[in-house]
A and B are shown apart, each in its own frame.
Chain A
């Protein structure tokens, strides 16, 4: 696979989106195009993983302008893995949406396609300002998706959530843009390859880049700027929450990993800040989760906690630490989406996600229950699921790097995680059967109807993946190791971009 394919990941999705917007309300067409493009994107991701398995890097100056002028697109193993998993997630969520019937509205498919384009661009670009642009390309469709609802039915809570989501993200982007401006002002370039190691050499550049990193930190919902996610994500529809959970915060995390590795060259002077902040994130997030009373607000707070885990990988900045962090990142994307989709299926079908609002589903919906349980245990880091491998490798990496406090925090937090997962389990899947199911609040639908296969399948598939990644962890571990090596010593990445 050649480097010039990278812009296509953006172009094709955009073209399809524009096409769908233009040809209006044609559900079948929308569904076909959406699934085709997402499959193609995922396939390309896999292709890139295979191509870059030797630790190589693909780089391409868009427009074939000389280096330093062109916007470089580059992909190493980390990029390829992210492209694959984001593609896979979008595909699964799209399938869920199809089963739910949402694609019927003329807006869903185009918006998801633009979002995909934005994600692919943000992952592939090696230019800070272009990163800003693609983050916006991700955000605008997200605003649209956030407020999607049946005609005239969006409740005030959803609008309030949207206001929160939009304003916070706008502030974030503005701060990031200012940071980019400062970087250009101090270093005279926004090209990652030209910025390589700049923050290490020049403290003003470091501070300017820190502004960018902080903005990305807000996007990733790091404590203390985590509140917006915990409030906004439960306010939209389950399918959109699932989609966002896999994409937005994760792209921010990717960018943090990349920028710190390249621009700071993994400078060890500032790592302690990360360790402190991210440990705090774990704790605050998980406590917030235990306190909540609806499935999605619990899961949303968990994202915060888990993001602490993931980012700890970069705060360790040892090769094992980065490997663990990347593995954790990918595992988390899959498991989280699975959880949001299984509980989402319940919410969609039974009309509520309040604990106790619907209960006793374990017997009524054994498949969904099983999918949830698997994903939940994986999230809590129990074997034999991928979560265990992720947690174990991260804990050992932390101890190895002499961050024993962080390791202790991780271990304690995972117990609380289990506790809150049990809270959902006993709130939704146990308890008196029938109460709430089909009855209260779900529009008097016949209580006889259950979650269909199509609606349950996405969650089940992802749950199976996490089991597979647990038993067959080696494959992903090897790939993560390659990706980590590319971050630990970014020279290969930098040379490739410079040579493009």
Chain B
């Protein structure tokens, strides 16, 4: 039943696009029907379960214990009816109010909003309630935003304020769920924790209050409501009179049984509510735009509601419930009627309305009725609610002066309310001269008139509300409350106040011109809008600062931070001072110090080098020193690889140096010093790390296996090579891929951007060495002999790699060195015979490597080497795998030489420039 109710309203939303396409703006009437259906369904559901509340649930997120649970008690029913009936009325109204056309987004959003509100009041699951809450926020954002460019800033402000409130609610929800262990509202409200843990109750109470205040535009979060009046009238009438602002009230009423005993809650609600009530009323009295006036009056009325809930006595809660109904009726009516006036007269500004004569009897009477209800004139629901409000305020719990003050403020508000109610009526219809404005068509005023009429009927026969009000109040109070609403209470103090209100109120109305003059100079010292915008701008400025910390592309800035952090980690390690195991054996031999000295020299020279070529050379020196280290540590293959890599790196660097300035730019000491300090710190950290973390254990189990079983299992004597191509072939596959892809990446880079041109070498043409043919003759002759030898050697290294030092990498690097020689020997770039399909080689390398690995699946796993005797010669697929490695390496080396070696040489600055130079000029 409940889901049917929800579904009906959802249907209206889903169907809206189709409906608008077929019947245009008349969709208002069509989509009003499902809402009324939903309303009847809700009533029947409630009647069907008289004693208890109607419930329904389907699981949503069991993992989080969240269900889509609905529960319809009297409080829910009351608000559901408001949402649906007023919603239907507004939709019907907008069918005529809107211009011809589709207005699809309007109808979709309005119905979506109605659905969200319905879900909000029906939800029995805290998370579902929150979802609905945020949904209403979003709908209002979009509805305000769709009213054109003028609506955007207000929309954003509204969203930010209400979303902030939403986050407060989220915090409350999370706290409650964690603490009570359930998300079911009906259960968690009765949880003993509320009484047992005041701190928790207070926190939640404050969070809930903040959430409700933002939603119901209570001080100090009230700025957005008048701000949002840019939205078209139906939106204002619904969202900002009947529905959205009431969501806050609903939340307060719903949680009141749990937190009404928390002092902070009472204080917040009563003070906040009353402050809002007064400032709202005063502001309303100063407005000339009727719609704006209504907006402020809404704030004020909601302030009274909030205060009533804060008082929290059964009487107060009853008054709150009744006044909610009354307010929904007269406020929606008034908004729509102002809309009617606006629609017909073309303005809603009192000053301009004075200059024309509105002969709109129906509208006038209806406006009068609604306004009277707002002013609390007898025979209208507003009167009943106001009476009970005064009564409730009078016996506010606590010391007598509290009740007195609260009632006093309430009376003041009531007077002002009476005054601005009069202001509306006389402001709109007082004009006697000028252009005559005729009555609007019935279709336009029907809906508001009905609302106003409802106020009248319920006012004349308030007892009709008794059962529903009683039920709702009992839910909010958490204890059964019986309500007998009557027109005549007898000669009570409350009645006396009403009389007082009438007297004072009417005098203000009569003397309204003078009042205007008194109020006009009043200005709010600080506008809420300014505050919101200000904090936004402030955040953006702060953000710019924070972003500025890292706002550079220069690598050195970004590299320094991690180095500092690593050093810090080392420091932690030192301070932590966890016990270290003893050092095993004797890790260092006397000869090592020679290597240390060599490296030290190299590093120092590299740091001090002023020209690029020098830097490259000395870094090369440290490279060779490192290679020696590897030899010294018994890592032959590693040493060979290191050596060859060093050679190739230097070759590539030489290719590039032609394109760079000779000298490094001079650095100021101010810049050099920090770098030096950080360098020393990092160096120390490393030394400590290596010293502490290494050489303190026996050989690892894996290594023992390699040394003992390696040869038998793989048939390879070169243990390191067997690890590479057999045991940990996956690493090697990745490695050869990396190498190959480096080639592709280089190609891609040079495809995307041409390198800077080669700088002209200042050659002395008279020198005998000037002629390239002559001065390369030696190298060329040598190459003719050595070239083939090198290639042979590399193949040999490849084949024997499994047994002796060598293997795919070393072999290929040797081959690569061969090509390097070929290139360097060539008298000129074009003559260099190195035009090979390098990408093809790389591709084949990767394919061969991976393909061989896939063969392994024959024996059950990727990269499982297959052994076999072919023609009496022992073979293993590991060798084929090595061929893949070989191809990839050769490929990448060739890529480097092809792309960097033979660039369309530019002699001097006059040559064909790279695109960027074009741009630079």
A residues sitting closer than 8 Å to B (CB atoms) are: 4, 7-8, 10-11, 14-15, 17-24, 60-66, 68-71, 105, 107, 110-111, 114, 117-118, 121, 125, 129-130, 133-134, 136-137, 140-141, 143-145, 147-164, 167-168, 171-172, 175, 178, 181-182, 184-186, 188-189, 191, 203-204, 207-208, 210-211, 214, 218, 224-228, 230-232, 235, 284, 287-292, 297, 301, 323, 377, 382-384, 388-389, 391-393, 395-396, 399-400, 407-408, 411-412, 414-416, 418-420, 422-423, 426, 430, 473-474, 477-478, 481
Instruction: Return the contact of B851 from the options A15, A24, A129, A191 (Cβ within 8 A).
Output: A15
| B539 lies within 8 A of A290 (CB) | yes
| A392 lies within 8 A of B170 (CB) | yes
Hey, what's the 0/1 contact readout for B86-114 against A, CB within 8 Å counting as 1? 00000000000000000000000000000
**A-B residue pairs in contact (CB < 8 Å), sample of 20:** A7-B853, A19-B843, A22-B839, A63-B727, A65-B727, A136-B734, A152-B752, A154-B749, A161-B553, A225-B565, A230-B547, A231-B551, A297-B547, A301-B547, A389-B61, A392-B174, A396-B178, A415-B163, A418-B159, A419-B536
| A7 lies within 8 A of B693 (CB) | no
Can you name the residue of chain A whose Cβ is closest to the Cβ of B170? A411
| A63 lies within 8 A of B63 (CB) | no
Contacting residues of chain B (707-728) with chain A, CB-CB under 8 angstroms: 713, 726-728
Interface centre among B753, B845, B853 (most CB of A within 10 A): B753
Can you name the residue of chain B whose Cβ is closest to the Cβ of A134? B734
B138 within 8 A of A: yes
* Contacting residues, chain B, for A323 (C-beta < 8 A): 63
B857 within 8 A of A: yes
B164 within 8 A of A: yes
Instruction: Return the contact of A140 from the options B167, B544, B745 (Cβ within 8 A).
Output: B745
B346 within 8 A of A: no
* Contacting residues, chain A, for B175 (C-beta < 8 A): 399
* Contacting residues, chain B, for A203 (C-beta < 8 A): 576, 578
Q: Could you tell me the distance in whole angstroms from the C-beta of A195 to the nearest C-beta in chain B? A: 12
* Contacting residues, chain B, for A214 (C-beta < 8 A): 562, 565-566, 569
Known: A153-B753, A168-B562, A225-B565. 7 other contacts (CB 8 A): A18-B847, A60-B861, A203-B576, A227-B558, A290-B543, A384-B135, A395-B171
| B737 lies within 8 A of A171 (CB) | no
| A384 lies within 8 A of B131 (CB) | yes
* Contacting residues, chain B, for A235 (C-beta < 8 A): 553
Q: Could you tell me the distance in whole angstroms from the C-beta of B568 to the nearest C-beta in chain A? A: 9
Instruction: Return the contact of A71 from the options B61, B731, B751 (Cβ within 8 A).
Output: B731
Complex Cα spacing A389 to B174, Å: 12
| B842 lies within 8 A of A21 (CB) | yes
* Contacting residues, chain A, for B160 (C-beta < 8 A): 415, 418-419, 422
Can you name the residue of chain B whose Cβ is closest to the Cβ of A425? B156
Complex Cα spacing A292 to B550, Å: 12
Count, chain B residues at interface, CB 8 A = 124
Q: A15-B850, A301-B547, A474-B60 are in contact. Are A21 and B744 (CB under 8 A)?
A: yes
| B152 lies within 8 A of A426 (CB) | yes
| A231 lies within 8 A of B553 (CB) | yes
| A24 lies within 8 A of B163 (CB) | no
* Contacting residues, chain B, for A24 (C-beta < 8 A): 839-840
Instruction: Return the contact of B555 from the options A133, A148, A168, A399 (Cβ within 8 A).
Output: A168
B854 within 8 A of A: yes
* Contacting residues, chain A, for B540 (C-beta < 8 A): 290-291, 423
Binds A, one of B295-303, B489-497, B695-703: B695-703
Complex Cα spacing A69 to B695, Å: 21
Complex Cα spacing A173 to B850, Å: 24
B residues sitting closer than 8 Å to A (CB atoms) are: 59-64, 127, 130-131, 134-135, 138, 149, 152, 156, 159-160, 163-164, 166-167, 170-171, 173-175, 177-178, 536, 539-555, 557-559, 561-563, 565-566, 569, 572-573, 576, 578, 580-581, 686, 689, 692-698, 700-702, 705-706, 713, 726-731, 733-735, 737-738, 740-742, 744-745, 747-749, 751-754, 839-840, 842-847, 849-851, 853-854, 856-857, 859-865, 914-916
| A226 lies within 8 A of B550 (CB) | yes
| A284 lies within 8 A of B751 (CB) | no
| A63 lies within 8 A of B861 (CB) | yes
Can you name the residue of chain A whose Cβ is closest to the Cβ of B734? A133
* Contacting residues, chain A, for B177 (C-beta < 8 A): 396
| B573 lies within 8 A of A414 (CB) | no
| A133 lies within 8 A of B159 (CB) | no
| A23 lies within 8 A of B843 (CB) | yes
Can you name the residue of chain A whose Cβ is closest to the Cβ of B166? A382
Q: A20-B843, A289-B543, A408-B171 are in contact. Are A182 and B694 (CB under 8 A)?
A: yes
Complex Cα spacing A210 to B568, Å: 12
Please report whether the interface of chain A is mostly helix, strand, loop or mixed according to DSSP: helix
Q: A418-B163, A474-B63 are in contact. Are A68 and B701 (CB under 8 A)?
A: yes
Q: A14-B850, A152-B752, A156-B916 are in contact. Are A231 and B862 (CB under 8 A)?
A: no
| B135 lies within 8 A of A383 (CB) | yes
Can you name the residue of chain A whose Cβ is closest to the Cβ of B572? A207
Complex Cα spacing A272 to B731, Å: 35
Q: A147-B752, A288-B547, A395-B170 are in contact. Are A189 and B863 (CB under 8 A)?
A: no
Can you name the residue of chain B whose Cβ is closest to the Cβ of A149? B752
Can you name the residue of chain A whose Cβ is closest to the Cβ of B844? A22
* Contacting residues, chain B, for A62 (C-beta < 8 A): 729-730, 861-863
| A144 lies within 8 A of B748 (CB) | yes
Instruction: Return the contact of A231 from the options B552, B566, B572, B863 (Cβ within 8 A).
Output: B552
Can you name the residue of chain A whose Cβ is closest to the Cβ of B580? A204
Complex Cα spacing A10 to B730, Å: 10
Complex Cα spacing A4 to B860, Å: 8
* Contacting residues, chain B, for A172 (C-beta < 8 A): 562
Complex Cα spacing A410 to B465, Å: 45
* Contacting residues, chain B, for A291 (C-beta < 8 A): 540-548
| B748 lies within 8 A of A107 (CB) | yes
| A18 lies within 8 A of B844 (CB) | yes
| B561 lies within 8 A of A227 (CB) | yes
Q: A147-B748, A210-B569 are in contact. Are A22 and B847 (CB under 8 A)?
A: yes
Instruction: Return the contact of A141 from the options B741, B839, B843, B916 (Cβ within 8 A).
Output: B741
| A144 lies within 8 A of B744 (CB) | yes
| B730 lies within 8 A of A71 (CB) | yes
Interface centre among B127, B563, B733 (most CB of A within 10 A): B733
Instruction: Return the contact of A211 from the options B566, B728, B740 (Cβ within 8 A).
Output: B566
| B748 lies within 8 A of A186 (CB) | no
Complex Cα spacing A220 to B170, Å: 28
* Contacting residues, chain B, for A152 (C-beta < 8 A): 751-754, 914-915
| B135 lies within 8 A of A121 (CB) | no
Q: A147-B749, A164-B555 are in contact. Are A399 and B701 (CB under 8 A)?
A: no
* Contacting residues, chain A, for B62 (C-beta < 8 A): 474
| A477 lies within 8 A of B61 (CB) | yes
| A11 lies within 8 A of B559 (CB) | no
* Contacting residues, chain B, for A153 (C-beta < 8 A): 752-753, 915
| B730 lies within 8 A of A69 (CB) | no
Closest 10 CB pairs of A and B: A227-B550, A22-B843, A291-B543, A18-B846, A144-B745, A290-B543, A21-B843, A7-B862, A203-B578, A291-B544
Can you name the residue of chain A whose Cβ is closest to the Cβ of B726? A63
| A407 lies within 8 A of B171 (CB) | yes
| B854 lies within 8 A of A15 (CB) | yes
Complex Cα spacing A191 to B700, Å: 12
Q: Could you tell me the distance in whole angstroms from the C-beta of B201 to the nearest C-beta in chain A? A: 16
Can you name the residue of chain A whose Cβ is closest to the Cβ of B846? A18
